[in-house]
Chain A
Amino acid sequence: MQQGSAYFIEEVSTVQETHTLSVLVDNEPGVLARVIGLFSGRGYNIDSLTVSETSHEEHISRITIVTTATPPVLQQIRSQLGRLVPVHEVADLSTFDVAPLERELALIKVTGTGDKRVEALRLADAFRATVIDATAEHFVFEMTGRQNKIEQFISIMQPLGLVEVCRTGVVALRRGPNKT
């Protein structure tokens, strides 16, 4: 921090925090490239990114970005995103009183026979993953949940014949009746 310049400001921390940003943008060509280019050009991290049009009449997309940075850099990320011309609104969901609702969807392919196969199916049931494709040698599980739940399930499947994983990245909304 700059010595002595902190009168009314909070202590500048060097501790990294992970925040979930929700960005409403005009769904026009190149808008995602602008957002990603901003992150790579200025050296910010993207831990997860999801994007889809959420309002078809107005052609507005919601981009959900999970990023890790120090608080001053997080402030810069919000301001820099706000500066992009097609951006309507930038909300940092991690700054509200309660943590945001976050979900991710994953497809997990597991192969195996015998005990391992039975164990995989049993664990999938415990994690509320559903079987969406199967043969005698494999399952594809679909599961939705918080990131750590998915991480945990994947690591458990590792010794049981995990073949490949596809994840959507985090989608998130603010809790409660108010808009983000």
Chain B
Amino acid sequence: MTRQMTGAEMVIQALKDQGVDHIFGYPGGAVLPIYDEIFQQEDIRHILVRHEQGAGHAAEGYARSTGKVGVLLVTSGPGATNAVTPLADALMDSIPLVCISGQVPTSLIGSDAFQECDTSGITRPCTKHNYLVRSVEELPRILHEAFYVARSGRPGPVVVDIPKDVQFATGTYHGPSNVSHKTYHPQLKGDLDAVRKAVDMLVNAKKPILYTGGGVINSGTEACQMLRELVALTGFPITSTLMGLGAYPASGKEWLGMLGMHGTYEANMAMHECDVMLCVGARFDDRITGRLDAFSPNSKKIHIDIDPSSINKIVQVDLGIVGDVGHVLEDMVRIWRAGGKKNDKQDLATWWERIKIWRKRDCLAYRPNEDVIMPQYALQRLSEKLKGRDYYITTEVGQHQMWAAQFLGFEEPHRWMTSGGLGTMGYGFPAAIGVQTAHPESLVVDISGDGSVQMNIQELATAIQHNLPVKIMILNNEHLGMVRQWQQLLHGNRLSNSYVEAMPDFVKLADAYGAKGIVCDKPDKLDAAIDEMIAYDGPVIFDCRVAKLANCFPMIPSGRAHNDMLFSDEAEDETMIANAIGDAGKKLV
């Protein structure tokens, strides 16, 4: 379909042709023509945020919970710079976004015009790709390309910066069907010989482990299904990164829990002692590997990733397979079945016996308290109350995030939205708004801390305006808990600026915005408070006052290896805490 229209019309038409039904944004001078088009149609619903960072994270939440591309619309200058954090966040966590930004008219570019900034220059290192549109004739191609690039291969954010004169100019529009990309064609199928070799390695493994990541979820529900089939077929133990939770069900008997810095003892020990590691759509992040020269020292490593640069980036692997996780896992399952491959049941049983011993360490145990709500207990109670419901969880960043990953089990992909790579405080609440927009009937809970929630608290107005009944559950310990925990471990318990003074009254704050505020500080009242939060038909801030000095364990302190974890019962000893991290570790992040 080709016809004449203005650049602004093309933007809306292209969004429709790409199947977009919601966008998140904030108007301003350089995007007024596009906003005028939004006003004159009803197919695309615009969610007005209160800060462009909120728009970006909302689009991320929308994308991650649907598997579709999230779209945000911002103005030039400060509009675009405010969107930089979510763009960087989406790049780190491979979330498909298209950010449409207004730009000053072409004739004014470079003149330091009002609200001008070099958006394409600023966003170049924090996007997968970006475009400055120079004429209306290239706009339709760029818009459709942007969606293609955002969702193909390893997904990521794409910026389309459109000068105001291009929005007003008239040109010929064409739909997505006649756009084929000149250069960008990611490899989807893995090399079959390599896949066969991988299956051989797995069949002959005595102590195998599957280490999976966000790539499985990005690949889609079929990939998660293939992963489940592979585990069922092999009986291998499986662990996952923070980003990969939900790809394999937490109730599955092969599930070891999350691995890494705050992962479970059994997952980390199994990683350390395995003889064959199958890494699927994960990237050996420093929060996963711990001390690199002691990382899984005796294993052969297989790595499946759609991004060739992920393979051998941090850890040299024995077999790298470039391809879409879903395709490669499908081939793997097929070859395993066709070969009638049987691994040695006895070896595997011995391996599981060993894992069971590690499991008995009960690494997530904490000391219960009758007077004060322990944060872990709060999450266990929430988890109980979520059972049987259709729910989505987002988090901010900090201790609450790690506890949520440890204590809330995920059975399905796309149900868990968290900022993994960039670690963006202030992510969870706007992300929850995006999730709720995509799933209006579902229960969406943002697990938050008292620090993070204040980083994008203004979005409460967005939730109210658009009737998005998001629940914020603040595990309020009046501290920047993870900062404090590191200060205890690294800096002689000198708590520099990690105590949050002048805490707002969250109940009154909720009330001021027209939301519901709930506060609870007693373990015996907790269940009722959670029930009240879930039952309320509208946005809720639940100020859950938890133990002020609880720390998040188990933990691999920086500079230590997987088999060298710190547990909560050991960490009660002050000298243990003071000596937990060596001098080398203190230099790491």
Residues of A within 8 A of B (CB): 1-9, 12, 26, 29-30, 33-34, 37, 41, 72, 75-76, 79-80, 82-83, 85-88
Contact = CB atoms under 8 A, between A and B. Distances in A.
B309 A79 contact: yes
Contacts of B301: 5
Interface string B193-236: 00000000000000000000000000000000000000000000
Given A37-B125, A83-B307, A85-B183, A72 B312 contact: yes
A3 B300 CA distance: 11
A7 B300 contact: yes
A154 B516 CA distance: 77
Central interface residue in B130, B182, B295, B301, by most chain A CB within 10 Å: B182
Given A2-B292, A8-B319, A82-B309, 10 more contacts: A4-B298, A4-B299, A5-B297, A9-B317, A29-B132, A72-B316, A75-B312, A76-B312, A82-B308, A85-B129
B530 interface: no
A76 B309 contact: yes
B149 interface: yes
Nearest to A73: B313
Interface string B404-435: 00000000000000000000000000000000
B31 to A, nearest CB: 22
30 contacts: A1-B316, A2-B292, A2-B296, A3-B293, A3-B297, A4-B297, A5-B295, A5-B316, A9-B316, A9-B317, A26-B182, A26-B183, A29-B132, A29-B134, A30-B124, A30-B132, A34-B124, A37-B124, A37-B125, A72-B312, A76-B309, A76-B313, A79-B307, A79-B308, A79-B309, A83-B309, A85-B129, A85-B149, A86-B183, A87-B183
B183 A2 contact: no
B204 to A, nearest CB: 12
Given A82-B309, A87-B183, A33 B121 contact: yes
Interface string B284-307: 000000001111111111000001
Nearest to B129: A85
Contacts, number: 75
A-B pairs with lowest CB-CB distance, top 8: A79-B309, A85-B129, A4-B297, A3-B297, A7-B318, A79-B308, A4-B298, A85-B184
B115 interface: no
B124 A9 contact: no
Interface in B119-141: 120-121, 124-125, 128-130, 132, 134
B40 to A, nearest CB: 32
A5 B309 contact: no
B535 to A, nearest CB: 48
A29 B110 CA distance: 15
Interface in B177-201: 182-184
Given A85-B129, A88-B183, A2 B315 contact: yes
A154 B427 CA distance: 57
Contacts of B132: 29-30
A88 B181 CA distance: 11
A34 B120 CA distance: 10
Central interface residue in B124, B125, B316, by most chain A CB within 10 Å: B316
A39 to B, nearest CB: 11
Interface string B89-132: 00000000000000000000000000000001100110011101
Nearest to B130: A30
Nearest to A12: B316
A2 B271 CA distance: 14
Interface string B259-303: 000000000000000000000000000000000111111111100
Given A83-B309, A85-B183, A87-B183, A2 B297 contact: yes
Nearest to A42: B125
Nearest to A10: B316
Contacts of B312: 72, 75-76
B132 to A, nearest CB: 7
A3 B272 CA distance: 12
A71 to B, nearest CB: 10
Given A34-B124, A37-B124, A85-B149, A6 B183 contact: no
A30 B183 CA distance: 16
A74 to B, nearest CB: 11
A6 B318 CA distance: 6
A8 B294 contact: no
Contacts of A6: 316, 318
A8 B198 CA distance: 13
A9 B318 contact: yes
B259 to A, nearest CB: 17
Central interface residue in A2, A3, A37, by most chain B CB within 10 Å: A2
A8 B293 CA distance: 18
Nearest to B121: A33
Interface in B47-65: none
Contacts of A41: 125
Given A34-B124, A75-B312, A76-B313, A5 B318 contact: yes
B120 A30 contact: yes
A12 B313 CA distance: 12
Nearest to A38: B125
Contacts of A3: 293-294, 297
Contacts of A34: 124
Contact of B124 (A12, A33, A82): A33
B306 to A, nearest CB: 11
A69 to B, nearest CB: 13
Nearest to A80: B309
A33 B123 CA distance: 12
B182 A5 contact: no
A46 to B, nearest CB: 16
Contacts of A87: 183
A2 B316 CA distance: 7
A2 B293 contact: yes
Nearest to A28: B131
Nearest to B127: A85
Contacts of B124: 30, 33-34, 37
A5 B134 CA distance: 50
A29 to B, nearest CB: 7
Nearest to A34: B124
B150 to A, nearest CB: 11
A1 B317 CA distance: 11
A7 B318 CA distance: 6
Given A9-B316, A9-B318, A79-B308, A2 B295 contact: yes
B465 to A, nearest CB: 36
Nearest to A58: B182
Contacts of B294: 3
A41 B88 CA distance: 14
B308 A5 contact: no
Contacts of A7: 300, 318
B376 to A, nearest CB: 34
A1 B318 CA distance: 13
A152 B545 CA distance: 73
A5 B183 contact: no
